[in-house]
Every structure is written in structure tokens, then in C-alpha cells.
Amino acid sequence: MDTTRNVTLGGLRIAYRDSGGPGARPDDVPVVLVHGMGGDGYTWDRFARRLRHAGRRVIIPDLRGHGRSAHSDSYLFGDFGADVVRLLDRLEISSADLVGHSLGGYAVSCVAQERPGLVRRLVMEECPLPLRSGDEQQTLTRRFPTVPELWHAGTSLIRHPRAVLAFDRGMTRTALEQFRKPNPEWWERLADITAPTLVLRGGPGGMVDPAKLAVLSAAMPDCTVVDFTCGHSIHRDRYREFERAVLPFLSRSVLDGPVDVPA
């Protein structure tokens, strides 16, 4: 059964779907799929079906201001991660695999920093990395918007019009302001992430700065980076490659040791 449910978390209505594949048990480690800015949980449908076919329980929230969740007066990046934590606590989940795209990748990274024991495995797909210091501000200010970002926004409108129309565009300014503001605390807390982590970078058409990515990879205790040749939405535009990298990573127990992922 894969129906939308609503729950009030921190005074805000959050919509989510919770479904299990054949043989899935309520106490199994679920996979939580978190979409990017301007999308909703339905952008994960293809991968969710594959996970359920493999017997996994899948939880897909709509972030605040997106899809069927309520709009909010606050769209701080930490709010999105806090909503995911609240949802998992409400569902009495003590361990989960988290997969996040773009803004969703930032949200799941915040979960892994705040509650490392809650995250078994972490996947960050094309997560735009925040500034580390004020020296980077001018470069980022000139950078918005880029051709890849405009292309991604246009194709998203065509492929997922419902998500784009439901999106609270009032958060865009807030998001850009946060990306332009250094966030040294986020960088310092990368060392708190204990879960094996897979970072997916979309290549020249993506939004992940390779220099910052090198710093991130070195700062995290267990981090693997996989590069793709597409743009910002790997799971949409290079689905088969995405699945080949992510599914084995999520299928293994931490006790099994390192997972070999495609280079």
C-alpha cells in the first residue's frame, strides 16, 4: 500500500508515503528518499519501486513548502533536516538508510550530523555544498543562476509539473541567501557523520564544486565519491547508472564491510 499520509510535526503538516516490498517487516531498516528543491516525493517513484521489489521498506516525505506538505514561514536548511528527524521519531524508526537529492542531500547530511546513530547508510546526490568562508562569497554571488540550473528547472517543469506548481517559490530567495552565507559549523560537523556515505556528483553540468567536494571527502570518516557525466538530477537523467551505484550500497549490511561502487 503506497498512499499519502499526513502528520503534524513541530506545528507543521508534513505529507509522506510509507510502503514495503514483499517480505518487508515493520522493524526492517527502511530507505528514506528525500527530494530536492522544487520537487516532491513522486520524483523518486522509479527508484522506490525498485527498492520495494528488492523487499525494502520505503519512506518518502514531501519537504515543507513542497508537494502536499504545508508551506511555512521558515525555510532554514536546518528545518528540512529537523522535519526528517521528527518524522522518523514519530514512526519509531531507530535506524534508516537516507538518500537525498540536492536540497534533500543537505537535509539528510544534517540528520546524519545531528543524529549519527539514526543513519545506517547515507547517500548525497548532487548536494550543493555550502560556503566554508567569506572568501568564497563573491564567486558564488556571480554564479547564480547558471545554465545547468536553468536547464534543470525547465525540464523539471515539463516532467513534474505538479511538483513545480505546488512548490512555495517564496523559499527561493531564502535558499540563495543561505548558500551565499558561510556555514563553517556544517563543515566542522562532517566528522560527526559515522555512517558510510556515498556522494554522487553530476559532473560539469552539476552543481557540486569539485574543490569543496575534495574537502568534504577528506573530512568524513567513510566517504566514497562517484562521478557521473550528466547534470544535476542523476537519478532522473542517468537512472540505470544511479541504480547500479546506489542499490548495492544500500543492500549491504555495515558489518559486511566496504562496498565496491562503479567508478
pLDDT category of residue 134 using cuts at 50, 70 and 90: low
Q: Over the stretch 52-109, which tens digit does the pLDDT of each residue have?
A: 999 999 999 999 999 999 999 999 999 999 999 999 999 999 999 999 999 999 999 9
Q: Which of 33-42, 46-55, 132-141, 199-208 has the lowest mean pLDDT?
A: 132-141
Residue 190 has pLDDT above 60, yes or no: yes
pLDDT of amino acid 240? 97
CATH superfamily label, 4-256: Alpha/Beta hydrolase fold, catalytic domain (3.40.50.1820)
According to the model, what pLDDT value does residue 113 have? 97
Rounded CA separation 252/47 (Å): 17
> What is the arithmetic mean of pLDDT over 192-206?
93
- pLDDT at 118 (0 to 100): 98
**pLDDT, tens digit (0-9, with 9 covering 90-100), for 154-165:** 445 445 567 677
Against a cut of 0.95, is the pTM above it? Answer: no
Q: What pLDDT, on a 0 to 100 scale, did the predictor assign at position 145?
A: 43
Model confidence band, residue 24 (pLDDT cutoffs 50, 70, 90) = low
**Would you state the cell numbers that stand for residue 204, as one nine-digit string?**
560539469
Instruction: Provide the pLDDT for residue 166.
Output: 78
Secondary structure in 3-state letters for the chain: CCCEEEEEECCEEEEEEEEECCCCCCCCCCEEEECCCCCCHHHHHHHHHHHHHCCCEEEEECCCCCCCCCCCCCCCHHHHHHHHHHHHHHCCCCCEEEEEECHHHHHHHHHHHHCHHHEEEEEEECCCCCCCCHHHHHHHHHHCCCHHHHHHHHHHHHHCHHHHHHCCCCHHHHHHHHHHCCCHHHHHHHHHCCCCEEEEECCCECCCCHHHHHHHHHHCCCEEEEECCCECCHHHHCHHHHHHHHHHHHHCCHHHCCCCCCC
The domain spans of the chain are: 4-256
Residues 111/192, Cβ–Cβ less than 8 Å: no
pLDDT at 147 over 90: no
Sequence letter at residue 1: M
| pLDDT tens figures, 222-237 | 999 999 998 899 999 9
Q: Return d(Cα 24, Cα 11) in angstroms, integer.
A: 31
Mean pLDDT in the chain? 86
